[in-house]
Structure 1
Amino acid sequence: MSAGLGATRYAGDLNESGNLAHLRLGAAINGAITYRLSYRLSLRAEGQIYYIYGSQKDTRNFYNNLSFFSLNPDIWAGVQLDLWPIDHPTMGHAPYALLGAGLTYMRPRTTFEGKSYGLAELRTEGVSYNLFPPIIRYGMGMPVYSNNRIRFQIEGTYTHVLSDYLDDVSTVYVDRTTLTPLAAVLADRRAEIGWPLNRPGEQRGNSTRNDGYWVVSGRVVYVLSTPLYQNYRQKFGR
């Protein structure tokens, strides 16, 4: 059994991957159960709550003035593979890789005039999108301390969301007259910083790439005693 606490960084239309001066880090907390199938391969299932946010302020698209934040849950299951053989002298600090799939629940919101509004229900791009998209997660980790029962690990993962609406931004600006007054205001926020509004059909996001998020966390692992673990201890003295 394990639990983790870490920092998140959203990757999508309202962020720039190379903008290290404005990382806009969020936070995540998670818990997992891992079952060792063999001396290198384990099954892992995990649940997580993560906070992410993004803004076009201080980016090359600052004039569009869009932003969002979201507190979402996700679940996934997959495999974890130790990269070093079981008889390696430093097996207690062996790095591992993980790969799995699951679901997340997207709840993009934004703030306007001091109030928070859910964006999905406003249909800011004139579409209703799936709020429970599949996810694919992959990453690596490494123990930094290990004894017979307790381990401390550093782990980094990227979650690829099979949707481009994690941030409520994907395609083009739609005709404002087809939206509710509130949706029209939140779909195009140029006027708030003194810029003219976009015309219908102008680019709002990049629909060729789906969104995702990074998580770098510290994890505490407690090893439960099972017949397989006891056999492992007897065979390798660990």
Structure 2
Amino acid sequence: MRKIFTLLLLSIITLVARAQTWEAGGIIGGAGYMGDLNSRNPVQVSGGAIGVFARKNYSPYFSVRGSYTFGWISADDKNSPNEVDRNRNLSFLTTLHEVSARAEFNFLEYRPGVFNNSLTPYVFLGLGGVYYSPTAKADDGQRYDLRSGRTEGETKPYSKIALSIPYGVGLKYNFLGKLSLTADATYHYTNTDYLDDVSGNYADPSKFTNATAAGLADRRLVKNPLNPVGTQRGDLRPHDSYMFFSISISYTWITDRCYFTK
């Protein structure tokens, strides 16, 4: 009996594992961020994004996607409409390497590779991790790593890796047999405030042993002689976020026992 039960269980697992369709494809789009150097515009694009992904369709309404995305974001206080920000005079460029998985929920029945001209809006939520590296140009024109400079007087450099929670909305369109297009807007909430290397207050300049780091830490055009140390440098919000606005194309593999085959 145990052998029969084990055989049945393995058979069910095998059938379930085969009862799906797979998609794989590429991603291209724009990237932006919300943080200390952009606290007002949630759709501002300041960089780009490229990547690859694989999607497993469990039913016409539910799928899971795993992806790797490389992106870059930037901001410059010189472009701010706010005079206080322009006086702060900070800037950054950060590269992002993100690996994530997300669950997708289709509003309409979607069967890629079977229903030509199939279209559905969808929503998604996931979990991921991002490796990030903020840099900035110094007065000598060279680009420097900001994390190692400890520009806010950190006792040790902050982590290069942050937790990412991607969520958003999109549109899937199966336009040519096994080829599909997807367009989506993905916001990524993180547990770091250092995507832009700006978080809290100005550090004591006498604590810096590196002149370049000291210069990148405080670039104000007009400094306050009454309180040069400890004044606000960031916007005091606890976390930064970033976003990808992307278009992807994918190819679908259909198994001989896919989820819609009776």
TM over 0.5: yes
Which structure has the bigger radius of gyration? 2
Per-residue deviation, residues 165-197 of structure 1 (Å, max 9, x unmatched): 00000000010111122211100012xx4x226
Distance 2:130 2:183 in 1: 23
In the alignment, structure 1 residue 99 sits paired with structure 2 residue 99 = no
Contact persistence 1:155–1:218 (CA under 8 A): yes
Aligned partner of 2:149 in structure 1 is: 122
Tell me, yes or no, if structure 1 residue 78 matches structure 2 residue 78.
no
Letter in 2 for 1:8: A
In structure 2, the residue matched to 1:226 is: 255
Local SS of the residue matching 1:93 = strand
Gap regions ≥5 residues in structure 2: 1-23
Alignment of 1:137-148 (within 5 A): 137-148=166-177
For 2:146, give the aligned amino acid.
L
Residues 30-41 of structure 1 aligned to structure 2 (within 5 Å): 30-41=51-62
2:160 aligned partner: 131
The 2-side partners of 1:118 and 1:86 are apart by: 46
Asked whether the 8 Å contact 2:34–2:42 carries over to 1, the reply is no
- 1:199 maps to a residue whose letter is P
Provide TM-score, normalisation by structure 1.
0.87
- Partners of 1:144 and 1:80 lie apart in 2 by 14
Contact 1:164 1:207 in 2 (8 A): no
Aligned to 1:189: 219
| Structure 1: unaligned runs, 5 residues or longer | none
Task: Give the secondary-structure state (helix, strand or coil) at the position aligned to 1:189.
Answer: coil
Say if 1:202 and 1:97 are closer, same or farther in 2 by CA, change over 3 A. Answer: same
Equivalent residue runs for 1:38-77 within 5 Å: 38-59=59-80, 60=82, 61-77=85-101
1:179-218 counterparts in 2 under 5 A?
179=208, 180-190=210-220, 193=221, 195-196=222-223, 199-218=228-247
TM-score in terms of structure 2 length: 0.80
Q: Which runs of 4+ in 1 moved over 4 A?
A: none
Deviation, 1:90, is 9.7
1:109 — aligned with what? 135
Following the alignment from structure 1 to structure 2, what is the Cα–Cα distance between the partners of residues 215 and 139? 10
The one of 34, 37, 57 aligned to 1:14: 37
Shift in Å, 1:144:
4.3
Q: SS of the counterpart of 1:57?
A: helix
CA contact (8 A) 2:46 2:75 kept: no
Going from structure 1 to structure 2, the CA distance change for 1:86 and 1:66 (only over 3 Å counts) comes to: closer
User: What amino acid is aligned across from residue 196 of structure 1 in structure 2?
Assistant: K
Q: CA deviation at 1:218?
A: 1.1
Paired AA for residue 4 in structure 1: I
Shift of 1:209: 3.4
Contact 2:108 2:119 in 1 (8 A): no
